[in-house]
């Protein structure tokens, strides 16, 4: 199989629609919802839910729905050949364009997010049917992942949330605390305009077994014992809620656990759920690159307004410093996007992409931060003022390097993959 660099027609068609949404529904209210953190732009949420449902992608951005869509036939006359699957590639380009509009609003586009991705990666067919089909409902629905704790960030072995099986009721009883849960409020709290979502809570069923004892549990919205303690006030992606959640004697059905209840040395349950990140890290990369593209395009627009047009094709020594800076930024952006495309192509073709997934996330986090910061530096007061969105994009950019595994952690993953070390051998 080969990687196609020309975007398939379904992706080209969707980009036209999404750019219209980004320009007319996201950009005009971007500043308003940045300044009024945690307010929900219902008109955008409801429109995107219905538009994506009508387009056949379910009621929002959901990895499972995109991933399992059957390959479409190639052009007539090509016999029984099928077009390679493009589910993740399609999702990545959707996300890049929406993040170009406003990355915080992209994050509140209805869909399953990380929560649904965990079910898709480690759930049984019955669990997928039960939990993932709800994103096709007539009202917007969300799901979220609850992993980070006050004493356990990137080191998942330090997770202290505990799940104990009650043999009398055949229910899991969960106790613990989770922080920095992206979309946790909309996924769990009841809003009249939202469907019944869920959070996926990571907990240990056997602390003595370390990571082998870790499991993920689907906790549906409204479950007793779950409390949203606070919503974080953040530097960027302010329209997206980031919640702190406590779980006190939370009871969930036995069948809501993802993976086997048996603690095994080969750690299949933990590894299966961790495959979530191999699928979603390139999507995080895509969201960051959408922000970087927005900043770079704005920079070039303002430079041209002031008589500075990039002269491509000349030797570097004949270019001005600003021209060299812009060309270098374009090179960074395009190389990061190609790396992201490779990672999603591998996901679509069911190839192991742990290395490429983390590489794309590292590269995008680095590139997005550098491009937005450099754009602000070059434009000076224009970049710093709140009259334009560039300073917001610089604030929004940094999260790309932090969530779903920091740049440092993903560099460790890359090093382990290349050098053949285990997590305990290279920390």
CATH number at residue 43: 1.10.540
175 within a domain of the structure (yes/no): yes
**Do both 275 and 214 map to the same domain?**
no
- At residue 177, φ and ψ (nearest 5 deg) are -140, 135
- Contact, 145 vs 197, CB < 8 A? no
385 within a domain of the structure (yes/no): yes
Nearest to 287 by CA among 374, 234, 364: 364
2 within a domain of the structure (yes/no): no
Give, in order, the Cα–Cα distances in Å from 195 to each of 112, 189, 201, 353, 363.
Answer: 12, 10, 19, 33, 36
Beta partners for 215? 203
**Do both 282 and 225 map to the same domain?**
no
30 within a domain of the structure (yes/no): yes
- For residue 66, the model assigns a pLDDT of 40
**Do both 77 and 164 map to the same domain?**
no
Residue identified by tokens 């059957």 is: 70
- How does pLDDT run along the chain (427 residues), one tens digit per residue? 565 667 788 888 888 889 999 999 999 999 999 999 999 999 999 999 998 888 765 555 654 444 333 333 333 344 445 556 888 899 999 999 999 999 999 999 999 888 998 898 888 999 999 999 999 889 999 999 999 999 887 777 789 999 999 999 999 999 999 999 999 999 999 898 999 999 999 999 998 888 888 899 999 999 999 999 999 999 999 999 999 999 999 999 999 999 888 887 665 556 655 677 888 999 999 999 999 999 999 999 999 999 999 999 999 999 999 999 999 999 999 999 999 999 999 999 989 999 999 999 999 999 999 999 999 999 999 999 999 999 999 999 999 999 988 999 999 999 999 999 987 788 7
Alpha carbons 233 and 241: distance in angstroms, whole number? 9
Number of H helices, E strands in the chain: 14, 8
424 within a domain of the structure (yes/no): no
**Do both 53 and 181 map to the same domain?**
no
- Contact, 364 vs 400, CB < 8 A? yes
DSSP state of 141: -
Alpha carbons 322 and 330: distance in angstroms, whole number? 12
Overall domain count for the chain: 3
Alpha carbons 376 and 357: distance in angstroms, whole number? 29
**Do both 259 and 281 map to the same domain?**
no
- Contact, 290 vs 284, CB < 8 A? no
**Do both 288 and 405 map to the same domain?**
yes
E strand intervals along 104-197: 143-146, 162-166, 171-182
Please enumerate in sequence order all residues whose Cβ is within 8 A of that of 189, keeping only pairs 6 or more positions apart, or say none: 221, 228
- For residue 336, the model assigns a pLDDT of 98
- Look at residues 56, 77, 110 and tell me which one is the last residue of a structural domain: 110
CATH of residue 167's domain is: 2.40.110.10
- Look at residues 75, 110, 145 and tell me which one is the last residue of a structural domain: 110
**Do both 277 and 415 map to the same domain?**
yes
Q: Which long-range contacts (CB under 8 A, 24 or more apart) does 8-12 make?
A: 8/83, 8/86, 8/89, 10/72, 10/86, 10/90, 11/86, 11/89, 11/90, 11/93
**Do both 106 and 120 map to the same domain?**
no
- Look at residues 77, 110, 143 and tell me which one is the last residue of a structural domain: 110
232 is known as an active-site residue: no
**Do both 287 and 336 map to the same domain?**
yes
**Do both 60 and 167 map to the same domain?**
no
Nearest to 199 by CA among 235, 148, 160: 148
With residues binned 3-state (H G I as helix, E B as strand, rest as coil), the percentages for the chain, rounded to 5, are 55, 15, 30
Beta partners for 217? 201, 257
Alpha carbons 281 and 411: distance in angstroms, whole number? 13
Among the options 66, 96, 177, 404, which is catalytic?
404
**Do both 174 and 230 map to the same domain?**
yes
**Do both 129 and 62 map to the same domain?**
no
CATH of residue 326's domain is: 1.20.140.10
333 is in which domain, residue-wise? 270-419
Alpha carbons 211 and 154: distance in angstroms, whole number? 13
427 within a domain of the structure (yes/no): no
324 within a domain of the structure (yes/no): yes
Alpha carbons 317 and 345: distance in angstroms, whole number? 38
426 within a domain of the structure (yes/no): no
């Amino acid at each position: 199989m080969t990687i196609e660099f020309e975007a398939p027609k379904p992706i080209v068609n969707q980009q036209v629609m999404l750019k219209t949404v980004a320009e007319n529904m996201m950009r005009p209210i971007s500043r308003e919802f940045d300044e009024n953190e945690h307010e929900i732009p219902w008109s955008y949420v409801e429109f995107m839910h219905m538009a994506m449902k009508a387009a056949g992608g379910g009621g929002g951005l959901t990895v499972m729905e995109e991933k399992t869509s059957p390959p479409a036939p190639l052009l007539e006359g090509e016999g029984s050949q099928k077009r390679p699957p493009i589910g993740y590639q399609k999702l990545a380009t959707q996300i890049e364009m929406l993040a170009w509009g406003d990355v915080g609003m992209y994050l509140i586009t209805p869909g399953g997010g990380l929560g649904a991705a965990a079910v898709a990666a480690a759930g049984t067919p019955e669990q997928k049917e039960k939990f993932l089909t709800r994103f096709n409902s007539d009202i917007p629905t969300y799901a979220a992942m609850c992993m980070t704790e006050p004493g356990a960030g990137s080191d998942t072995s330090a997770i202290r949330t505990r799940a104990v099986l009650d043999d009398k009721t055949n229910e899991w009883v969960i106790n613990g605390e989770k922080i920095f849960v992206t979309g946790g409020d909309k996924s769990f709290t009841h809003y009249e305009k939202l469907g019944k979502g869920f959070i996926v809570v990571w907990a240990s069923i056997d602390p003595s077994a370390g990571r082998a004892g870790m499991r993920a549990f689907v906790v549906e919205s409204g479950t007793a014992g779950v409390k949203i303690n606070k919503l974080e006030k953040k530097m960027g992606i302010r329209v997206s809620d980031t919640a702190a959640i406590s779980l006190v004697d939370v009871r969930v059905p036995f069948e809501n656990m993802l993976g086997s209840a048996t603690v095994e040395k080969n750690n299949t349950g933990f590894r299966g759920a961790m495959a979530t990140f191999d699928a979603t890290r390139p999507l995080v990369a895509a969201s960051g690159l959408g922000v970087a593209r927005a900043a770079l395009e704005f920079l070039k627009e303002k430079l041209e307004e002031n008589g500075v047009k990039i002269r491509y094709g000349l030797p570097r020594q004949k270019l001005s410093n600003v021209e060299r800076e812009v060309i270098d930024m374009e090179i960074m952006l395009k190389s990061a996007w190609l790396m992201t495309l490779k990672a999603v192509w591998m996901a679509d073709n069911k190839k192991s992409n742990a290395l490429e997934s983390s590489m794309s996330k590292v590269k995008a986090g680095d590139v997005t931060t550098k491009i937005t910061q450099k754009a602000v530096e070059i434009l000076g007061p224009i970049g710093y003022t709140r009259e334009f969105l560039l300073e917001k994009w610089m604030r929004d950019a940094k999260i790309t390097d932090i969530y779903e595994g920091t740049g440092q952690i993903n560099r460790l993953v890359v090093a382990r993959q290349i050098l053949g070390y285990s997590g305990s051998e290279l920390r």
